[in-house]
Amino acid sequence: MKQLYIAGNWKMHKTVAESVALAKDLVAKLGASGQKVMIAPAFTALASVAAVVKGTKIRLGAQNMGPEEQGAHTGEVSVLMLKDLGVSTVILGHSERRHSYKEDDGLINKKVLLALKHGIEPILCVGETLEEREAGRLESVIGTQVREGLKGVDAAVLAKLVIAYEPVWAIGTGKTATPQDADAVHAYIRKVLAGLYGEGPAKSMCIQYGGSVKADNAKELMGMANIDGALVGGASLKAETFVPIVEF
């Protein structure tokens, strides 16, 4: 069976103490898991959670980062600061960043290149709104987000990057894309990647699905040919709901 990459995006939840408690619980319960696992706490909890996951199989992720290495950028967190804490992955272009904070493809691309430059694995999120899907614009929206997000990314480092397909209408709504629908979009993303980098790299690219992933739909989603893992929001906030997804 293929190795899956299951990531938990804790979003704007949990105090430091709550984050540490969950991380400890996950280390205890997932220590022997064969899957690749990542958790992304809030910035404020990164240092404390880093101490808990250090030396374990759980990777530490951040939910965002600034587009510059350092300087006068009030409120931003830099790639160097993340690296300093032991962060190995960063979620970029999440739809909540794109829609609530107006992040565009150019800005997201800048962050992707910066993360790669510093050896941090970017998870580039792409996804269409319901309006875009219903207007028949699914492929053009996803295609643009993938192409623009990867601008300047060399074929040699492509394998260090992950793409997450998260249809905006499925995030936090309880609505999931059907496994077949999700798989078709993942296949389309591979087609775009093949156009950019060739069939081989497109085939081996890790593409996660995100949007109301739960223990009871994980098996079917993860069983699809083009789905290589999950980016989990709500269900990643408790060990009781996250562990069964990793170990479906």
Contact indicator for 240, 214 with CB cutoff of 8 Å: no
Q: Is 222 in the site for ligand 13P (CB under 6 A)?
A: no
Applying the rule CB under 6 A, the residues between 141 and 170 that interact with ligand 13P are 166
User: Exactly one of 5, 6, 9, 158 binds ligand 13P (CB under 6 A); which one?
Assistant: 9
Residue of 96, 103, 121, 166 marked active site: 166
CB of 8 to ligand 13P, least distance (A): 8
β-pairing verdict for 206-210 and 162-165: parallel
In DSSP notation, 160-183 reads G-EEEE--GGGSSSS----HHHHH
Site string for ligand 13P, 176-215 (x = CB under 6 A): ----------------------------------xxxx--
Question: Closer to ligand 13P at the Cβ: 78 or 208?
Answer: 208
In DSSP notation, 34-61 reads SSEEEEE--HHHHHHHHHHHTTSSEEEE
β-pairing verdict for 121-126 and 5-9: unpaired
Active site residue 121: no
Work out the number of other CB atoms within 10 angstroms of the CB of residue 230: 29
Q: Give the binding-site size for ligand 13P (rule: CB under 6 A).
A: 14
Given the rule CB under 6 A, which residues bind ligand 13P?
A: 9, 94, 166, 171-172, 210-213, 231-235
Q: Could you list the active site residues? A: 94, 166
